């Protein structure tokens, strides 16, 4: 009958209103979700930009540190340019008068020409055992001549002690020592340039 139909329509209308309300709530929730997602995306984008800028700054700082480190290493090596290390002499040798001891001992040890003047000054060695005697030659050619003589004569010995003579280099340049020794063994020409670059000459060509 009509009443029954009206009741059904009322129930359907109520259900439809409920569905409409639920859909509206879902839409509102979806809008809010999209808004929050958009906020998060913007936040993430901002963080990515900050990270990218931070990485650029780090790269720039690393480059500056590398340049400053190279300059410092260069300055250290220039300051040590005239230095030689003497290792193997007993610590009592010279009884605290290392400069006079070196000046008196080297000519005979290295078979230097009579009258060779060794103008030197001592630089203290930092807490090493055995401590080398580090000597600064006032004239670079004399220092180079001493080093060449030591290489020409090969193993050196003084009163039963094996004596080593080597340049006073920074740690960075010391890394080339083994390579240089092998190059000398094979009679290959080379040059070590500031700050720490090794140039090898093979068949007249530099590498």
State yes or no: pLDDT of 63 exceeds 50: yes
Q: Which fold has domain 170-207?
A: Rec A Protein; domain 2 (3.30.250)
Per-domain boundaries in the chain:
1-79, 81-168, 170-207
Confidence class for position 35, pLDDT limits 50, 70, 90 = confident
Average pLDDT over residues 152-159: 86
CATH number for the domain formed by residue range(s) 81-168? 3.30.70.1820
Q: What is the pLDDT of residues 112-133, one digit of tens each?
A: 887 777 776 665 555 445 567 8
Q: What is the pLDDT of residues 81-118, one digit of tens each?
A: 888 888 888 765 555 577 788 888 888 888 888 777 77
What DSSP line would sit under 4-36, residue for residue?
HHHHHHHHHHHHHHHHHHHHHHHHHHHHHHHHH
Q: Does pTM surpass 0.75?
A: no
């Amino acid at each position: 009958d009509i009443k029954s139909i009206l009741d059904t329509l009322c129930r359907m209308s109520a259900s439809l209103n409920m569905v409409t309300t639920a859909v509206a709530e879902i839409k509102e929730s979806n809008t809010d979700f999209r808004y929050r997602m958009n906020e998060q995306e913007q936040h993430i984008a901002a963080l990515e930009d900050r990270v990218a800028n931070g990485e650029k700054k780090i790269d720039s700082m690393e480059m500056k540190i590398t340049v400053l480190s190279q300059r410092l290493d260069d300055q250290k090596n220039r300051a040590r340019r005239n230095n030689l290390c003497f290792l193997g002499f007993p610590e009592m040798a010279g009884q605290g008068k290392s400069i006079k001891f070196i000046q008196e001992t080297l000519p005979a040890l290295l078979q230097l020409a009579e009258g060779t003047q060794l103008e030197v000054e001592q630089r203290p060695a930092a807490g090493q055992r055995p401590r080398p005697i580090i000597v600064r030659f006032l004239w670079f050619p004399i220092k180079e001549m001493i080093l060449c003589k030591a290489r020409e004569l090969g193993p050196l010995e003084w009163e039963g002690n094996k004596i080593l003579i080597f340049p006073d280099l920074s740690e960075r340049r010391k890394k080339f020592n083994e390579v240089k020794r092998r190059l000398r063994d094979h009679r290959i020409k080379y040059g070590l340039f500031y700050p720490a670059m090794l140039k090898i000459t093979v068949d007249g060509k530099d590498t």
